[in-house]
Structure 1
Amino acid sequence: MARHKLSESRIRTLSKAGIYSDGDGLYLRVRDGGSKQWRFIFKRAGKRTEIALGGYGQGTAPVSLALAREKADAIRERLARGEDLAGRKTFLDVMEDVIAVKEAGFRNEKHKAQWRMTLDKYAEPLHRKPIADITRDDIVETLKPIWTKIPETADRTRMRIAAVLDHAKARGLFTGDNPADWRGGLKELLPARQKLTRGHHAAVPYSALPGVMERLRASTGTAARAVEFAALTAARSGEVRNATWSEVDLDEALWTIPAERMKAGKPHEVPLSDRAVSILKARRQMATSGLVFEGGKEGVPISDTAMTKALRAAGGGGATLHGLRSTFRDWAGDCTNYPRDVAEAALAHVVSDKTEAAYRRGTALAKRRNLMEDWSGYCSKPC
């Protein structure tokens, strides 16, 4: 069978999803989004088997064309000796399948990259092991080098390894308890984890916000308008940056953010104050694309960095964009009599309490409209 059909130069130009043969069982699979993985595929007794050989140009140990051919040659030799390779999927085989499933469900590119990076880099000692043979000791040895140095990343790696093993169990490729479960024995073999502390996003004190908003209004830049709009709507910066005109109803003073752009995966209606509507009407007059807050390039939203600079230039100190949501929440709790569930609905927070969730089945839109108008008024004068 002909071999060496691919070349490095051709591989670099491949972008269409599909599977491309190098010959005699070696293939390069290109996925939607551009990721490329090597596969060796063969049949024995009518049964098709696919072996993962690693990613091309990916992770901490990218597999070049030359290395993929070496790995393929090694497999061919083992097959020639009559070794049974079918049914012996490695951790890497299943890992790639799990990542493909996760990537299809994630909206956030950062989450996709984090899943691949942690498993590529920190779970590498498991990659070549048959997944059916992985033991708790294998997990311990994999995690020990990072467990105390980077504890949060280490625990995320452990949970992602556990997800790969759960996937294997569901497919009948692994039996028994999951060796990566913390309560399944790992807590006896690794040092106790320190409680992870998560710093709050630095926020502008609500008593100082009117001054910040005054300076923002004095600026004519797009970034300043985007920050002011984010403060007035208590929205996340990504929701504001990627807002489109199709989401906005100026007549109804309503901004409806679609589910695919929301953290909770549910559409969110934002009642707009008079000042927020004024901002949008002014932006509409100068719009050149479907984006409300377009950056320096046509069709590209204003950046987080530009917005952060605008906030700090207006006297926000070391505050973050996300901290503006905390500013709003503190003000609503300290300076108003609006019920907690109304303020939480304004922030599009997911309610874990079943009783409160049942109480807040509706969006409390009318109450939130009053709340956001009062908030807009406060942003022009202290409490």
Structure 2
Amino acid sequence: MRDTGSRQWLLRIQSDGKRRDLGLGTAETGERSTETKTASAKLAAVDRKSLTLAEARDKADAYRRMVRAGIDPVEERKKAPATIPTFESATKTCHGEMKASWRNAKHTKVWLACMESHVFPTIGQQPVDAIDSIIVRDLLAPIWMEKPETSRRILQRIGVVLDFAHIKGWRPTETSLKSVRRGLPKHKRDDSHFDAMPYDEAPAFFARLLAAEHTAGKDGLAFTILTAVRSNETRFATWSELDLKKKTWTIPGSRMKTGMTHIVPLSPAAIEILNRRWEGRTSNDGLVFFATPTKPMSDMTMTKALRTMGVTDAHVHGFRSTFTDWAAETTSIPKEVVDKALAHKLPDKVEAAYRRTDFFERRQVLMTMWADYLVGKKNVVRLVTAA
């Protein structure tokens, strides 16, 4: 605690064998109100550098990466540009640099026109480092239910611009806008979506699944849940795709819905299942989960395992939604990392062109947290505050 009585977020790390305490900013006190907080009050809060826990975690993650790369965060802050562009100017700069990778000229024009129509009139003249989740939520609220597809695209594009601004040094931290959706009504789900088990029911079910007799179907179901992959990716998994020492599963693009190779980090719980399956293998490069040594499980085998466990109101594929909801509601992991874990193909081509990283190290942490949650453990990311 400072002499003024305010609290500060600190990140405590080891660098070159020495402990360092890096200030992240003032800890925000009290709850923000999306109903009563004026625009000027929001900007004042940004100017004071007050941070919520989620914002402090994002900033701490960025500092850790800088330290690992041999960059001193304190020195980097001194290099920050003196002039911060407006959101409109930053958007146009981002658009100008990204459009070279787009093939569709119509999309290039529509992308910016959408921002000009729905975003610039409201927040275009605000400094790009002043845009936070509350401002974005208030911007989208009037059209969120009326124009759901448009509003979702705007949210994605704002995220791209804010991440672009961070890379340019116009914003101090990476940006997470997942809290925006929590402050808005849920869009009606498409009837084609698979029923999902609520995430708070998943640990109890998973405990029963692990305690049940081990069969290819039940092992495959548990492995699918732990890795958050599609059922077909598990059904056709072979030992040649797995590296148990490196704890990775490399799924070739020919078997992925996106057509792109996907590397899955394997949690200890997933490795335990694979070690058990390894003992019963018929060859070192054959199928991991099979009906016969040369024939993969039927696409109904895992569904049958789910039904024999007494679950009739959820689908195997629905556990991907369970995983998504858990990550959004209980962790500070950014949505783009969760999307990479699910091997989602980003619908926005600008975002896809910009986010080329596969976030592998962060996905390792995420999948271990998910596995720990399912087996009843807790994996807490800790930030240190001054006493």
Q: Report TM bin, short chain.
A: 0.3 to 0.5
Of structures 1 and 2, the one with the larger relative CO (CA 8 A, separation 6+) is 2
> Is the radius of gyration larger for structure 1 or structure 2?
1
Q: TM-score, normalised by structure 1?
A: 0.47
Q: TM-score, normalised by structure 2?
A: 0.47
